[in-house]
Structure formats: structure tokens, C-alpha cells
Amino acid sequence: MSKDKLWGGRFNAPINEFVEQFNASIDVDGRMYREDIAGSRAHARMLGQQGILSDADVKQILAGLNDMEKAIEEGALPFTVALEDVHMNIEARLTENIGDAGKRLHTARSRNDQVATDTRLFLRRRVDEIQIRIRTLQTALVNLAQCHADTIMPGFTHLQTAQPVTFGHHLLAYVEMLRRDAGRFADARARMNQCPLGSAALAGTTFPIDRHATARELGFDAPCANSLDAVSDRDFVLELLAACSICAVHLSRFSEEVILWMSAQFRFIDLPDAFCTGSSIMPQKKNPDMPELVRGKTGGIIGGLVAMLCTVKALPLAYNKDMQEDKGAVFDAFDQLEGCLRVFADMLPGMKVNKVIMHKAASSGFSTATDLADALVRAGIPFREAHDIVGRSVSWCIEHDTELHQMDAAACAAIDARLTVAMTSQLSVEACVAARNHIGGTAPDQVRTQCAAWTQKLEADNA
């Protein structure tokens, strides 16, 4: 019956049965019960301090909220769709338990500032958790990079062999992406850490509230400056969905590489059995399901971002019920991203790296051609000419089914008088990577330096 609802006073007919379900958000926002209770505690204390509620009422409310939190945690207080959302489930139960004091809790408050506050608090916690997951994955990548500072693989552009790189260097590229991801989450967290409480439905309240007190108690940096904005702003949801999407895209790119590397055509790596599955018909198959799923889930996470951008784009100020859809999208993005980060961090230490095959692949495809051009430049030849000489050398090698470093004096002389065996014979993938020994370069020494710096940073951040 609508009459039984917390908002039922002006209603004469009961709510439609399906509408009751369609309208409810408890299945999604029930997860925010801790934050809802924390918000209510802060609000009640503030009302007491300001003389808006009596000390006795506040005492009862606080005790009642403590009992409720315990009961919910123990599963002794199941939520009901009839009470629509987490805010009304908790308020109604509180009133059932403590009577009139519970009915006074909603003074100077609306579900609109309440939900905005709860969601910010909940997502703040999720951001802190995701930061730990990001660091854990970075640690796994750095550890692996350290083991493979000297492991040589082909570096690709256009997915064609380009130049040799170290596998450790390749892995550290993802550590850098994750650094920026962590930065995006941290930026969004700093921006959203303002308290909507006290904005009430949209315009503020007639009671002499202390918004600084509630903001402080809940760990916010300040109260939101404009009540209309405070209840209708979902920028933080969009920013976090964007941060989740970009991070997922990074993991998806890595997934794509891991999948390619594990194929019979590459055979660069093998994933541990515990992270793969077989085929129900092809007995030989071992499939890289985990990276495939990570790549697949990325679509869903991006979908959440697009959905919320579309939802918010048409909303007039201030609160609109459309906003209720935000939590499903952003909670799901965090859940999925957390799973993706976790599965990669768990899987990487067991990844087998086929150094011999990687080395062979790095040595093919004329990957040392740029270094030969550089050798000609060092002999005083302009780079564009050097480029042409090496281009003709490659063509010659293809024709004679040989490699650049195997070209003899006659072959060199036939191409250009300035090309010498001293230049070609020195070409090796080891020399190629070792020579790129500057900040950001692929040399084993650089990889080791980077790994050491990262290990120190990650240990400090984890402390």
C-alpha cells in the first residue's frame, strides 16, 4: 500500500505491484548500507549539536544505527523491495526498532543529498581498493620485468617486426599505463571528496545545520558549495567510469598481446594451466580464456560509461530518477575491473616465457636494419642516404635468402662502397638493445634501473 510508504501521505491508491519492483533500487544500492549508516550517524550527531534534535533522541538513533549495522552484517535484517532503496530500508527499520526518535532522523535531509553522499562515500572506498589492486598488478609486472631485463623479443609496429626490445621493457610499458590509471583514480577521488549532505532535496534546508561538521566527520574535504549542483552532479560517476574504462582498455591491449603470444604461430609464452580451459571437442586445445575475458569485459565497462554519459546529458537540474541507474553501471565497472586486475596479477607469476623462440623471432625480419643505418651515419653518411643503402641491402638479402650480418665484403661493395663488413658483422640483437641505453630506452641496464625504482616506489606506496 502506498499509504504504508514513508512518502505515502498524499496517496490514495496503492502502488502498482510491478511498479513497486521496477522502481526499487535496493538490489543495487543495498551494498551501500555502511555508508548510509555512517551518513545518518554524522547527520544525527550534527542535528544534536545544533540543538535541532534532543540529546536523548540522538543517543537512541546512534544506538539504533549500531544495532542495525550489526544485524545487517549478520544477515539478520534482510532488505525488502517494498521499502524501495537502502535509505528507506534503513530508516524504516530504525523507526521500527527505536520508535519516534527514528522518525526524526530525516529532519533537514532528503534522499537526494543522502544518495549523493552515500554514493561518493562508497566509491571513495572502491577507489582505495582499486588502487591496491593496481599496485599489486604493477608489482607482478615489475617482478617479471626484472627476470626478463635481458630477454630479447621483437618489438612491433603495425604488428610487423620493427626492432629488438627487451621483454622487461615491454612489461614496464604496462606499469607506466597503470601509473597513469592510478593517477586518474586519485584525481577523480580528490575532486569528488566534497559532501552533498545538507543540500536536502535541492535548495538546502530551513534548519540551522552545520555542514562543515558532517563533511568533517565523513572525511570529506569540504561541503559542496551549491545545493542544486550537489544533488544533481554525477561527474564523479562519469569520471570514475572513464578511469575504469581506460584502465580496462590497457588490460585489454595486454590481453590481446598475451593471446597472440600464446598462439602456435608465436609461441612466445605459455599461461599456467590453472588459468586456461580446454575445448569440449578438440582435445589438443588450451585456451587463454582469462585474457580473452578481460578483453571481453572491457566492452561492458566502456558500455557503462557510454550509458551514463547518455543518461546525464539530458537531465535538467536538479535530481531526476534517471540518476538511480548510475549505481548499477559504476558498481559493475568497479567489480569487473577489480576482477580483471586480480586475474592478471595472479596469472603473471606463472607465465612461462620462451626465451629461445622470442630471441629467434627478434633476430628475423631484418630487425637490426636501423642499427646498420646508424652505423653508416656514424661513418659520416647522411641518414636519408644510409636509409637507402640499408634498404637495398635488405632487398639483396631477401633475394639471396640471407641476413644482414652475414653479408660479406663483396656483397657490401656491390651495394655501396661505403658499406663495410665491419658494419654488418657487428649487427646482433644483443648489441641493438644494449645500445639504446638512455632514459626510456630498451637496454637491459635501463630495465634494471627502472625495476629498482619501481620496486622502491611500490614498497613505499604499500607501506
Measured CA to CA, the distance from residue 419 to residue 386 in angstroms comes to 9
* Active-site annotation holder among 54, 263, 279, 364: 279
3-state secondary structure 113-160: HHHHHHHHHHHHHHHHHHHHHHHHHHHHHHHHHHHCCCCEEEEEECCE
Tell the smallest beta-carbon distance from residue 86 to ligand ARG (Å).
8
Measured CA to CA, the distance from residue 253 to residue 169 in angstroms comes to 16
- Decide: residue 258, CB within 10 A, 0-12 exposed, 13-18 middle, 19+ buried: buried
| Counts of helices then strands in the chain (DSSP H, E) | 20, 6
Q: Residue 115, interface with ligand ARG (CB under 6 A)?
A: yes
| Residue 155 φ then ψ, to 5° | -90, 145
Q: Which of 111, 120, 234, 297 binds ligand ARG (CB under 6 A)?
A: 111
Measured CA to CA, the distance from residue 253 to residue 460 in angstroms comes to 28
Q: Which residue pairs, CB below 8 angstroms and at least 24 apart, start in 370-373?
A: 370/163, 371/163, 371/427, 371/431, 371/432, 371/435, 372/404, 372/423, 372/424, 372/427
Q: Residue 324, interface with ligand ARG (CB under 6 A)?
A: yes
Tell the smallest beta-carbon distance from residue 112 to ligand ARG (Å).
5
Number of residues that bind ligand ARG (CB under 6 A): 10
Q: Residue 36, interface with ligand ARG (CB under 6 A)?
A: no
- Supply the Cα-derived Rg of the chain in whole angstroms: 31
Three-state DSSP at 162 gives strand
Contact criterion met (CB below 8 Å) for 118 and 39: yes
43 catalytic residue (yes or no):
no
Tell the smallest beta-carbon distance from residue 84 to ligand ARG (Å).
7
Q: Residue 331, interface with ligand ARG (CB under 6 A)?
A: no
Q: Residue 192, interface with ligand ARG (CB under 6 A)?
A: no
Identity of the residue, 323 or 407, whose beta carbon is nearer to ligand ARG in the bound complex: 323
CA angle 167, 171, 177 (to 5 degrees): 150
Three-state DSSP at 203 gives coil
Of 54-62, 109-117, 278-286, 301-309, the segment contacting ligand ARG by CB under 6 A is: 109-117
Q: Residue 330, interface with ligand ARG (CB under 6 A)?
A: no
Three-state DSSP at 286 gives coil
Tell the smallest beta-carbon distance from residue 126 to ligand ARG (Å).
16
Identity of the residue, 323 or 447, whose beta carbon is nearer to ligand ARG in the bound complex: 323
Q: Residue 127, interface with ligand ARG (CB under 6 A)?
A: no
Identity of the residue, 109 or 297, whose beta carbon is nearer to ligand ARG in the bound complex: 109
* Active-site annotation holder among 2, 54, 106, 158: 158
252 catalytic residue (yes or no):
no
| Residue 277 φ then ψ, to 5° | -130, 170
Q: Residue 25, interface with ligand ARG (CB under 6 A)?
A: yes
Q: Which of 60, 89, 95, 112 binds ligand ARG (CB under 6 A)?
A: 112
Binding mask 64-93 for ligand ARG (x = CB under 6 A): ---------------------x--------
Tell the smallest beta-carbon distance from residue 244 to ligand ARG (Å).
20
DSSP per-residue string spanning 290-326? HHHHHHHHHHHHHHHHHHHHHHHHTPPSS--GGGGHH
Identity of the residue, 115 or 345, whose beta carbon is nearer to ligand ARG in the bound complex: 115
Residues in region 284-323 near ligand ARG by CB under 6 A:
319, 321, 323
Of 107-115, 152-160, 418-426, 444-452, the segment contacting ligand ARG by CB under 6 A is: 107-115
Tell the smallest beta-carbon distance from residue 58 to ligand ARG (Å).
24
Contact criterion met (CB below 8 Å) for 404 and 393: yes
Residue 207: CB atoms within 10 Å: 15
Identity of the residue, 86 or 140, whose beta carbon is nearer to ligand ARG in the bound complex: 86
Q: Which residues form the interface with ligand ARG (CB under 6 A)?
A: 25, 29, 85, 111-112, 115, 319, 321, 323-324
Task: Return the active site residues.
Answer: 158, 279
